[in-house]
Chain A
Amino acid sequence: MAAIADGVRAGKLRARDVAAAYLDRIERFNHALGAYLLVDGEGALRQAAAVDSAVAAGRDPGPLAGVPLGVKDIFVTHGLETTCASKILRGFVPPFESTVTDRLGKAGAVTLGKVNMDEFAMGSSNENSARGLVRNPWSLQHIPGGSSGGSAAAVAASLCAGALGTDTGGSIRQPAAMCGVAGMKPTYGRVSRYGVVAFASSLDHPGPFGRTVEDVAALLEVMAGVDPLDATSIPAPVGAYRKAVQSGRGGGLKGLRLGVPEEYFQPGMDAEIEAAVRAALDDLGRAGAELLPVSLPHTKYAIATYYLICTAEASSNLARYDGVRYGLRAADAKSLEELYARTRGEGFGWEPKRRIMLGTYVLRAGYYEAYYGKALRVRRKIADDFTVAFTKCDAIVTPTSPVPAFRFGERMGDPLQMYLADIMTVAPNLAGIPALSQSCGFTKAGLPIGLQIIGPALGEEICFRVGGAYEARTDWHTRLPPEPATQTSSERAS
């Protein structure tokens, strides 16, 4: 990514040629992967041409000049269809632009198109998209992870240089781990949610994907910062994230204390993942970090707490899909009640329906305190665990996912099994603290393994420093998946 931006800024590389090369790869490989829902070739070439003109005129094209991005279809893009991979929002062409995509565009980045995801970001496998599967570039029979599966797969398969995702319970880090790329969920409020279709407002975190942690840092530097259009965005200065990566890469980790929570290394986790993460911990120790055990005793309650809170918030946020102002509308409804109920019944997929139902159930009069109120109290205890741990250590290191990418259909029949795929990622969302995932190895079957680095609130720089130090000592991030078979011209025509 830096090579593209530096080359374009120096006038050695044309943004238009870069965009055209990526569009060509999308044309050849997207049919096999399903990562993109919508490719905006014309728009991308137009944006790239504007960057080239700026360079030619001697104007600064921005730090991300010509960097081609895949944008998760949850970010609202002016004039470009935004569907959240749902049927109910099909055909919605937004009249405004999200703050994040606006900032990236002004920094010179080029949007190639909208990438696939689980419907309304609800899922851990990208099997819940109303628009079709995304395949894992490392093995086409395996899921890419979810819900930002399209973003992770597109970066892994070089169908973009970087991508945007959102993480409500692990939806950036888990697919990043399963596709062998880097991804970060920043501190809650670090990145504006304006123009990001809401799923669970107190848990939704927009964030970047890249091939390396430095790419992720470069994107976050542009995305982050207070936004007057989002009342929950934090008015804190944005850190020097790329510098933090470079300092980790150059100076090692001397003086840094890394906590290893026993609760994240329980029996039952995949043996190959445990071995890879333990080896990564050894590498971090050799880089100068002091490793020490810490305890996060309420970890086992995180999934239950998460599902009560996220479904309660989702049932409220998804109330806006009623067939009146945008999206699908059921035909021939005789009353307004019927219009709402039928539009929603016909328009939502099974997972949003299940979450709306659970959320409505737990918010009901008489049940509210027993479920939702209880979950909010346990959330406090989970967040307090981190506060206590961070008095002893500077960052916490864990696996990102207890299992590698699973096969399609393997967990679809069992919602609880599916929810457990997020067991190592949900707690930082409840606490609102930053966490980075990067590649730390492969299983014997060739599937990527992810390492998670969790920092204290607004401690993105510590995560990046650790991530940079790890990347300097390993080469996992340089490995590329095999290219899928190219579609023939006759297949394309049919």
Chain B
Amino acid sequence: MSRIKPEEVREIATLARLRLTDQEVDRMTVDLDAILGYVAALKELDTADVEPMTHAVPFDCPLRPDATAPSLPLEEALRNAPRREASFFQVPRIIASGSGGSGEDLP
């Protein structure tokens, strides 16, 4: 019996913000099914009393002093932007048009 179905793969792809083609969904279903079958072997170990280990080295989260310091210059920060406008990263419209604004999508 398969552990994961194509519909579930599509759902996860949506959660991961990852567009997959139909062929990719089919291939992903096969691959994930095999990997999930393999990792199921962990179930045979009793770990009820084991403390989870998130990190190899225990450390406290250090906080830096709450002081102002120079940050990356604006031009440097925006240098790699695929699209920019003035001092902003440009993205498609998020808020629906109607209340002001031109309502035009990005070219």
Contacts and interface: CB of A to CB of B under 8 A. Distances in A.
Contact of B35 (A188, A342, A415): A415
A335 B94 CA distance: 7
A378 B62 contact: no
Interface string A9-33: 0000000000000000000000000
Contacts of B18: 341, 344-345, 348, 353, 356-357
Binding site secondary structure of chain B: loop
Interface string A336-365: 111111101110100001101110110010
A202 B56 contact: yes
Q: Which of A328, A334, A357, A431: most chain B CB closer than 10 A?
A: A357
A305 interface: yes
A375 interface: yes
A433 B56 CA distance: 8
B54 A307 contact: no
A460 interface: no
B39 A308 contact: yes
Interface residues of A, number: 70
Interface in A299-349: 300-301, 303-305, 307-308, 315, 319, 322-329, 333-342, 344-346, 348
B34 A416 contact: yes
Q: Which of B31, B35, B83: most chain A CB closer than 10 A?
A: B35
Nearest to B57: A189
Given A92-B80, A357-B18, A377 B52 contact: yes
A237 interface: no
Given A305-B42, A353-B24, A360-B16, A93 B61 contact: no
B80 A361 contact: no
Given A304-B39, A308-B39, A364-B15, A324 B89 contact: yes
A56 to B, nearest CB: 34
A379 interface: yes
Interface residues of B, number: 51
B19 A354 contact: no
Given A325-B89, A336-B94, A373-B52, A357 B32 contact: yes
A344 B19 contact: yes
Q: Which of B18, B36, B45, B91: most chain A CB closer than 10 A?
A: B18
B7 to A, nearest CB: 13
Q: Which of A301, A334, A360: most chain B CB closer than 10 A?
A: A360
A340 B9 CA distance: 18
Given A93-B80, A357-B12, A377-B52, A234 B89 contact: no
Contact of B83 (A329, A336, A383, A457): A329
19 contacts: A95-B72, A95-B80, A188-B57, A232-B55, A324-B89, A334-B92, A334-B105, A335-B94, A344-B16, A344-B17, A353-B24, A354-B31, A356-B18, A361-B12, A361-B36, A364-B12, A374-B42, A380-B51, A380-B52
Given A327-B80, A341-B14, A361-B12, 20 more contacts: A188-B55, A189-B56, A202-B55, A301-B41, A308-B42, A323-B82, A324-B82, A324-B89, A334-B92, A335-B94, A356-B16, A361-B4, A375-B39, A377-B53, A381-B45, A381-B47, A415-B31, A415-B34, A416-B35, A430-B56
Interface of A: 91-93, 95-96, 187-189, 202, 231-232, 234, 298, 300-301, 303-305, 307-308, 315, 319, 322-329, 333-342, 344-346, 348, 353-354, 356-358, 360-361, 364, 371, 373-381, 383, 415-416, 430-433, 457
In the A-B complex, the 7 residue pairs with the closest CB atoms: A432-B56, A345-B19, A376-B52, A326-B80, A329-B82, A377-B47, A380-B53
